[in-house]
């Protein structure tokens, strides 16, 4: 099959082996796959991943022992888990120590004609949700994870740092649940587009300290320091970025101001897909380019352009 492969360098292969059927897992033909910051990080060495990247997708089940799945349009939870360890038994399979993660850790991903995932990971997409919306299920689920981890109040003053893909997703997720975050960034034209989606926006330099909650979606280690500076004493900082570069950071303000720090990664798909189906927001205006898989390398270059939100690839 055709697949975009990272082996130290990103390139298209036309002779990549098809995924082999295994018991308990289904073969999915990819319809649309989205490029996110994590994919770009992978091409810079994140997780030392080798193989087919891509974890945001919608596709159709071609082959499965679970006949109810065959032919279904699906998105897929990206973490696979053993189901038997203490984490899994406690319902935290996304933290299973022996997990694989689609296109990120030990499992080929979505920038290919076909992928394979456990049957239990696949979630049917309602007809009302177009492929171009469903492809946002994964980043939207990750955004919604904040709502499960932090007990936010509707009256909280919430700042989201970063006007990129991740910041936009988090802002739309919170806005859809009637919180009123302000999204802050350095790109006036992107802030304008987010404002057109009904979001409150502000230039990053204009934010004044005192927020109850600051969510770092900058994808840069400097975002953490900025978040700590903007949150009020006893406030909460939520870290959504997985910036690959480590940096020396001063944690004294965390102690002095008694700040709570929450790390936040992946979320559950079912509520995210339900929100998409209910039309609580439409992510499609965030798509800035659609590329063929054959032009996957160019698609990655386009996604690295900071003026763009989401680039999607169609096999």
Q: Of 38 and 133, which has the nearer Cβ to Zn ion?
A: 38
User: Any idea what DSSP says for residue 8?
Assistant: S
Residue 87 Cβ vs Zn ion, minimum distance, rounded to whole Å: 5
Nearest to 267 by CA among 145, 93, 173, 136: 145
**Maximum CA extent, the chain:** 58
- Identify which range of 35-43, 111-119, 179-187, 192-200 contacts Zn ion by CB under 5 A: 35-43
Q: Which residues have a Cβ under 8 Å from the Cβ of 185 and sit 6 or more positions away?
A: 161, 162, 163, 164, 167, 191, 201, 203, 204
Q: Residues 127-131: contacts with CB within 8 Å, 24+ apart?
A: 128/277, 128/279, 129/273, 129/276, 129/277, 130/284, 131/31, 131/32, 131/58, 131/73
Residue 77 Cβ vs Zn ion, minimum distance, rounded to whole Å: 13
Residue 298 Cβ vs Zn ion, minimum distance, rounded to whole Å: 19
* 36 sits near Zn ion (criterion: CB under 5 A): yes
Of residues 291-310, those binding Zn ion (CB under 5 A): none
Q: Of 116 and 165, which has the nearer Cβ to Zn ion?
A: 165
Cα–Cα distance measured from residue 171 to residue 246, given in angstroms and rounded to the nearest whole number: 26
* 81 sits near Zn ion (criterion: CB under 5 A): yes
Q: Of 94 and 259, which has the nearer Cβ to Zn ion?
A: 94
* 75 sits near Zn ion (criterion: CB under 5 A): no
* 241 sits near Zn ion (criterion: CB under 5 A): no
* 96 sits near Zn ion (criterion: CB under 5 A): yes
Residue 112 Cβ vs Zn ion, minimum distance, rounded to whole Å: 16
* 105 sits near Zn ion (criterion: CB under 5 A): no
* 169 sits near Zn ion (criterion: CB under 5 A): no
Nearest to 77 by CA among 9, 19, 124, 44: 124
Q: Of 36 and 143, which has the nearer Cβ to Zn ion?
A: 36
* Helix locations, 250-313, DSSP H: 252-256, 269-277, 296-303
* 85 sits near Zn ion (criterion: CB under 5 A): yes
Q: Of 81 and 218, which has the nearer Cβ to Zn ion?
A: 81
Q: Residues 13-22: contacts with CB within 8 Å, 24+ apart?
A: 16/52, 16/112, 18/113, 18/114, 19/108, 19/114, 19/115, 19/116, 20/116, 21/63, 21/116, 22/116
* 82 sits near Zn ion (criterion: CB under 5 A): yes
Q: Rule CB under 5 A: choose which of 5, 10, 31, 38 binds Zn ion.
A: 38
Residue 219 Cβ vs Zn ion, minimum distance, rounded to whole Å: 11
Q: How far is CA 274 from CA 120, 222, 264, 269, 270, in A?
A: 18, 35, 21, 8, 6
Q: Of 3 and 101, which has the nearer Cβ to Zn ion?
A: 101
- Identify which range of 61-69, 85-93, 214-222, 289-297 contacts Zn ion by CB under 5 A: 85-93
- Identify which range of 95-103, 171-179, 211-219, 221-229 contacts Zn ion by CB under 5 A: 95-103
Binding stretches for Zn ion (CB under 5 A): 36, 38, 81-82, 85, 88, 96
């Amino acid at each position: 099959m055709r697949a975009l492969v990272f082996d130290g360098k990103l390139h298209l292969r036309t002779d990549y082996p098809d995924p082999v059927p295994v018991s308990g897992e289904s073969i999915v033909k990819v319809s649309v796959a989205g490029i996110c910051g994590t994919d770009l990080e992978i091409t810079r060495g994140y997780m030392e991943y080798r193989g087919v990247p891509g974890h945001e997708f919608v596709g159709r089940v071609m082959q499965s022992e679970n006949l109810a799945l065959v032919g279904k349009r699906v998105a897929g939870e990206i973490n696979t888990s053993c189901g038997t360890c203490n984490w899994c038994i406690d319902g935290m399979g996304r933290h299973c120590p022996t997990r694989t993660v689609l296109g990120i850790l030990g499992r080929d991903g979505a920038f290919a004609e076909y992928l394979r995932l456990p049957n239990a990971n696949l979630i049917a997409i309602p007809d009302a949700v177009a492929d171009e919306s469903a492809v946002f299920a994964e980043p939207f689920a990750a955004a919604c994870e904040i709502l499960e981890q932090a007990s936010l109040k509707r009256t909280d003053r919430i700042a989201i740092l970063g006007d990129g893909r991740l910041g936009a997703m988090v802002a739309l997720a919170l806005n859809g649940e009637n919180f009123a975050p302000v999204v802050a960034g350095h790109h006036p034209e992107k802030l304008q587009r987010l404002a057109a989606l009904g979001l409150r926006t502000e230039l990053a330099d204009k934010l004044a300290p005192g927020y109850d909650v600051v969510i770092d979606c900058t994808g840069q280690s400097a975002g953490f320091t900025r978040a700590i500076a903007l949150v009020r004493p006893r406030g909460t900082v939520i870290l959504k970025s997985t910036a690959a570069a480590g940096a020396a950071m001063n944690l004294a303000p965390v102690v002095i101001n008694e700040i709570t720090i929450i790390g936040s990664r992946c979320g559950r798909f079912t509520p995210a897909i339900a929100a998409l189906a209910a039309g609580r927001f439409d992510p499609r205006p965030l798509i800035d380019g659609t590329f063929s898989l054959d032009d996957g390398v160019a698609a990655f270059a386009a996604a690295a352009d900071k003026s763009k939100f989401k680039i999607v690839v169609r096999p």
